[in-house]
Structure 1
């Protein structure tokens, strides 16, 4: 399994983002239910967001994230940064599959 920090940058006014936020969060909840996401939330100040995810590949994750309503409407840009966790809290062992 590979791990990714996904940085979201809003490219439209926050009012448009707010309209789609409930649908975006519904989409994210589906991914949480599958065990693919660990955490997510808006940046402070609210100019984008961050998601911590896992996937077998970046390509697979990018394909999955194309279903995000924000991305479908071209309201955001996503940047994927793969990383290899070496230190972690013990309660994360199951999610990390270690």
Structure 2
């Protein structure tokens, strides 16, 4: 399993971001439910967001994220950064060590 920090940059007016945010969060919830995502949220100040995710490859993650309403409506740019969790809180061990089943 590979781990990624996805940095989100808003490229649309905040009014458009506000309009699309509920659909974006619904999309993210599906990924939480299958175990892909660990956490997500807006930056402060609100110029984008951050997501911590896992996937078997960056290509698989890119394929999944193409269905994000933010991306489909040209609201954001993504920057993917792969990293290796060398240290972590004990309560994250299960999430870090388990794979997930991709749903279609």
TM-score by length of structure 2 reads 0.93
Separation in structure 1 between the aligned mates of residue 74 and residue 81 of structure 2, nearest angstrom = 20
Aligned partner of 1:7 in structure 2 is 7
Aligned partner of 2:78 in structure 1 is 78
Separation in structure 2 between the aligned mates of residue 17 and residue 3 of structure 1, nearest angstrom = 26
Q: After superposition, what is the alpha-carbon deviation per residue over 1:6-62, rounded to whole angstroms, capped at 9, x for unaligned? A: 000000110000000000000000000000000000000000000000000000000
| CA RMSD across the alignment | 0.8
The runs of 4+ residues in structure 1 deviating greater than 6 Å are none
The alignment of Structure 1 onto Structure 2 pairs a total of residues equal to: 98
Shift in Å at residue 66 of structure 1? 0.3
Structure 1 unaligned regions, length at least 5 = none
TM-score by length of structure 1 reads 0.98
1:1-98 to 2 correspondence within 5 Å? Answer: 1-97=1-97
| Partner SS state of residue 35, structure 2 | coil
